[in-house]
């Protein structure tokens, strides 16, 4: 242990590093004596929170970080305990994880797979993190998941919606709580049918990268099953800022629904442009023209302002949910920070608790033990009803929310209203579904 002249309080607060000092960073060490990567041997355990702190998703990253800090506080017995009180598993006692105080380190993914991996590596190699979590895009999630598999630590994905994360790129050490493109499609389709009928012509604008494609594929399949026709699918460059040249052809295409498979800044701009071109006032084929944004995020919706009113989409979670777990989380988050949490914050908070709980139940931090405890784990009280962490692909199956932009928001946070809670059974698919085929989970890697 280090001998420095820090005060007692200093030592406690710098515990993250102090913890790492005891748990020597033996990662990737061929001659390691430890049973697994970064086995915590002192009084604390270090988690790595890898979120976008710069770049376009920095606000989501900041919200994720708030959720992580809250989760750590709760795990260590601080605050009001949040969801720990409503969680169906009672293994967590508020004394850290397995009696070890929870410390954390943070890093910046920059929403680039390279930078995200570098940041995650430094947490594993330098700070001795035993679990990595966070991120706000699928490319980063898949890249970091791959790294964690190689390094022998657990990866608890943050916000990642691509089918591939638990599809062709699934990994034994990686777990996703967030929902995916297929689930969005499955949840949205019946609602869309109810709202807009089964005779619709859809025009898709799709962000030209992996996430966009998988989501477009999912939504098109789900809506076509209802009887909708997909008129066109146009791929838009990720770097596009002005979507006018993609929106204009929609006007004369004969389509009566526009599906925007965009996220983040792309979504804000394409939606704004679509509204600018008067699509919402248009009447085509004697029907009101409609716009659908399959993946909604409240933080992003704020950027789109009044344009999101009445626009339907799906989301993983929303703070207005009335179940016990959600309310508990919103209360502790809102009390601490003064505003309600986003879906990204929710998923990150839950992932941290789920990880801690799995360690407690497994009695070890060994990734293989933790993975075993998470696989097939069923729980409740975390906001989305009864949830299953499926063993075959490490995907959570839970209720999915279909939401729409609120007509008369009462506050700057009150932008979405829940239209329907689609039950988990309706969004469940078989592990060998063609949209998820191609990859192998592999076997868990403890790293040593």
Partner 1 sequence: MDVLITQILNGLDKGSAYALIALGLTLIFGTLGVVNFAHGALFMIGAFCSVFLQRLLNLSFETIDATKTDFLGNPLKVKTPYVESWFGPEMGGAIIDWSVPLAILFAIPVMIAIGFIMERGLIKHFYKRPHADQILVTFGLAIVLQEIIKAFYGANPIQTPAPEALSGVATLAEGIVYPVWRIVYFCFSVAVIGGVFAFLQFTTFGMVVRAGMADRETVGLLGIDIDKRFTFMFGLAAAVAGLAGVMYGPINAPNYHMGMDFLVLSFVVVVVGGMGSLPGAVLAGFLLGILESFASMTQVIELIPGINQIIIYLVAIIILLVRPRGLMGRKGVME
Partner 2 sequence: MFGLDKKDTSLLWVVIALTMLAPFILNPFPTGSGMAQFNAGYPDLMQRFVIFGIFAIGFNILFGLTGYLSFGHAAFLGVGSYSAVWMFKLLSMNILPAIILSVAISGIFALVIGFVSLRRTGIYFSILTLAFAQMSFALAYSVLTPITNGETGLQVTLDDPRVLGVSATADGSIPVTNLFGLEMRAAYDLVVGPWTFTFSVGYYVCAIVMLLAFYLAIRIFRSPFGLMLRAIKSNQQRLNYTGLNPKPYTLAAFVISGMYAGLAGGLMAAMDPLAGAERMQWTASGEVVLMTILGGVGTLIGPVLGAGMIKYFENIFSKINDNVLHSWFSFLPDGIEDFIVLVIHPFVGKGWHLTLGLIFMLVVTFLPGGLVEGGQRIARALRKKKEDEPKSPSTEPAE
Region of 248-256, 326-334, 344-352, 439-447 interacting with partner 2 (CB under 8 A): 439-447
The answer to the question of residue 106 lying near partner 1 (CB under 8 A) is no
- The partner in contact with residue 225, picked from partner 2, partner 1, none with C-beta cut-offs of 5 to 8 angstroms by kind, is none
Q: What is the 3-state secondary structure (H, E, C) of the chain?
A: CCCCCCCHHHHHHCHHHHHHHHCCCCCCCCCCCCCCCCCCCCCEEEEEEEECCCCCCHHHHHHHHHHHHHHHHHHCCCCCCHHHHCCCCCCCCCCCECCEEEEEEEEECCCCHHHHHHHHHHHHHCCCCCEEEECCCHHHHHHHHHHHHHHCCEEEECCCCCHHHHCCCCCCCEEECCCCHHHHHHHHHHHHHHHHCCCCEEEEEEECCHHHHHHHHHHHHHHHHHCCEEEEEEEECCCCCCCHHHHHHHHCCCCCEEEEECCHHHHHHHHHHHHHCCHHHCEECCEECEEEEEECCHHHHHHHHHHHECCEEEECCCCCCCCHHHHHHHHHHHHHHCCCCCHHHHHHHHHHHHHHHHHHHHCCCCHHHHHHHHCCEEECCCCCCCEEECCCCCEEECCEEEEEECCCCCCCCCCEEEEEEECHHHHCCCCCCHHHCCCCCCCCCCCC
- The partner in contact with residue 105, picked from partner 2, partner 1, none with C-beta cut-offs of 5 to 8 angstroms by kind, is partner 2
Region of 98-106, 280-288, 410-418, 419-427 interacting with partner 2 (CB under 8 A): 98-106
Tell me the closest approach of the beta carbon of residue 268 to partner 1, in angstroms: 5
**Interface pick for partner 2 out of 44, 86, 133, 138 (rule CB under 8 A):** 138
Please answer whether residues 128 and 25 qualify as being in contact, where contact means their C-beta atoms are separated by less than 8 angstroms. yes
**Interface pick for partner 1 out of 331, 378, 426, 443 (rule CB under 8 A):** 331
**Interface pick for partner 1 out of 122, 413, 418, 428 (rule CB under 8 A):** 413
- The partner in contact with residue 382, picked from partner 2, partner 1, none with C-beta cut-offs of 5 to 8 angstroms by kind, is none
Q: What is the dihedral of CA 148, 151, 152, 158, to 10 degrees?
A: -10
- The partner in contact with residue 305, picked from partner 1, partner 2, none with C-beta cut-offs of 5 to 8 angstroms by kind, is partner 1
- The partner in contact with residue 307, picked from partner 1, partner 2, none with C-beta cut-offs of 5 to 8 angstroms by kind, is partner 1
Distance CA 444, CA 65 (A): 27
CB atoms within 10 A of CB 352: 27
Region of 68-76, 122-130, 188-196, 296-304 interacting with partner 1 (CB under 8 A): 296-304
Tell me the closest approach of the beta carbon of residue 239 to partner 2, in angstroms: 7
Task: Map residues 332-351 to x or -, x wherever contact with partner 1 holds by CB under 8 A.
Answer: --xx---xx-----------
**Interface pick for partner 1 out of 242, 310, 376, 434 (rule CB under 8 A):** 242
Tell me the closest approach of the beta carbon of residue 213 to partner 1, in angstroms: 13
Task: Map residues 298-317 to x or -, x wherever contact with partner 1 holds by CB under 8 A.
Answer: -xx-xxxxxx----------
- φ/ψ of residue 132, rounded to 5: -115, 140
Region of 15-23, 270-278, 309-317, 383-391 interacting with partner 1 (CB under 8 A): 270-278
Query: What contacts 409, CB < 8 A, 6 or more positions away?
Result: 415
* The two structure tokens encoding residue 62: 């900041």
**Interface pick for partner 2 out of 41, 76, 122, 233 (rule CB under 8 A):** 122
Region of 116-124, 286-294, 317-325, 408-416 interacting with partner 2 (CB under 8 A): 116-124
The answer to the question of residue 361 lying near partner 1 (CB under 8 A) is no
Region of 209-217, 269-277, 321-329, 415-423 interacting with partner 2 (CB under 8 A): 209-217
Distance CA 177, CA 161 (A): 10
**Interface pick for partner 1 out of 178, 319, 349, 379 (rule CB under 8 A):** 319
Tell me the closest approach of the beta carbon of residue 410 to partner 2, in angstroms: 31
The answer to the question of residue 80 lying near partner 2 (CB under 8 A) is no
**Interface pick for partner 1 out of 125, 208, 224, 392 (rule CB under 8 A):** 208
Query: What contacts 84, CB < 8 A, 6 or more positions away?
Result: 74, 75, 92, 94, 353
In the complex, the residues that contact partner 2 under the rule CB under 8 A are: 1-4, 6-7, 9-10, 13-14, 16-18, 20-22, 24-32, 53-54, 58, 61-62, 104-108, 112-115, 117-119, 121-122, 125-126, 137-139, 142-143, 146-147, 149-150, 164, 169, 208-211, 235, 237-239, 439-440, 442-443, 445
In the complex, the residues that contact partner 1 under the rule CB under 8 A are: 55-59, 208, 232, 234-237, 239, 241-242, 244-246, 248-249, 251-252, 265, 268-269, 272-273, 276-278, 281, 299-300, 302-307, 319-320, 330-331, 334-335, 339-340, 410-411, 413-414
């Amino acid at each position: 242990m280090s001998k420095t002249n820090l005060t007692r309080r200093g030592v406690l607060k710098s515990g993250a590093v102090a913890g790492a000092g005891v748990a020597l960073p033996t990662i990737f060490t061929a001659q390691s004596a430890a049973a697994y990567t970064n086995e915590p041997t002192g009084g604390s355990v270090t988690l790595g929170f890898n979120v976008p702190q710069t770049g376009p998703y920095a606000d989501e990253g900041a919200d994720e970080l708030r959720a992580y800090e809250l989760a750590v506080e709760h795990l260590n017995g601080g605050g009001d305990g949040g969801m720990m009180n409503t969680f169906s598993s009672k293994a967590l006692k508020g004394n850290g994880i397995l009696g070890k105080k929870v410390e954390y380190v943070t890093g910046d993914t920059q929403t680039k797979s390279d930078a995200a991996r570098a940041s995650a590596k430094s947490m594993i190699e330098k700070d001795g993190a035993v679990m990595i979590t966070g991120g706000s895009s699928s490319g980063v999630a898949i890249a970091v998941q791959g790294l964690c598999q190689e390094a022998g630590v657990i990866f608890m994905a943050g916000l990642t919606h691509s089918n591939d994360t638990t599809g062709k790129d699934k990994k034994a050490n990686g777990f996703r709580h967030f929902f995916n493109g297929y689930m969005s499609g499955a949840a949205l389709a019946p609602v869309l049918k109810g709202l807009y009928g089964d005779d619709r012509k859809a025009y898709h604008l799709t962000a030209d990268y992996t996430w966009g494609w998988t989501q477009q594929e999912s939504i098109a399949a789900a809506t076509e099953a209802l009887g909708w026709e997909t008129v066109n699918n146009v791929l838009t460059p990720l770097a596009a800022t002005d979507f006018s040249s993609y929106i204009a052809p929609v006007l004369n295409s004969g389509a009566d629904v526009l599906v925007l498979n965009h996220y983040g800044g792309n979504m804000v701009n394409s939606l704004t442009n679509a509204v600018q071109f008067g699509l919402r006032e248009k009447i085509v084929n004697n029907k009101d023209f409609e716009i659908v944004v399959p993946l909604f995020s409240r933080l992003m919706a704020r950027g789109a302002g009044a344009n999101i009113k009445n626009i339907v989409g799906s989301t993983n979670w929303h703070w207005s949910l009335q179940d016990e777990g959600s309310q508990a989380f919103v209360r502790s988050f809102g009390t601490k920070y003064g505003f309600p949490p986003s879906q990204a914050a929710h998923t990150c908070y839950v992932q941290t608790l789920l990880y801690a709980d799995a360690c407690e139940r497994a009695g070890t931090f060994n990734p293989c033990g933790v993975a075993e405890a998470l696989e097939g784990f069923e729980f409740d009280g975390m906001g989305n009803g009864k949830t299953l962490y499926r063993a075959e692909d490490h995907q959570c199956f839970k209720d999915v929310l279909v939401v729409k932009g609120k007509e008369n928001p009462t506050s700057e946070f009150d932008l979405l209203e829940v239209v329907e809670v689609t039950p988990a059974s309706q969004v469940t698919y078989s592990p060998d579904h063609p949209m998820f085929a191609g990859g192998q989970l592999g076997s868990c890697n403890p790293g040593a």
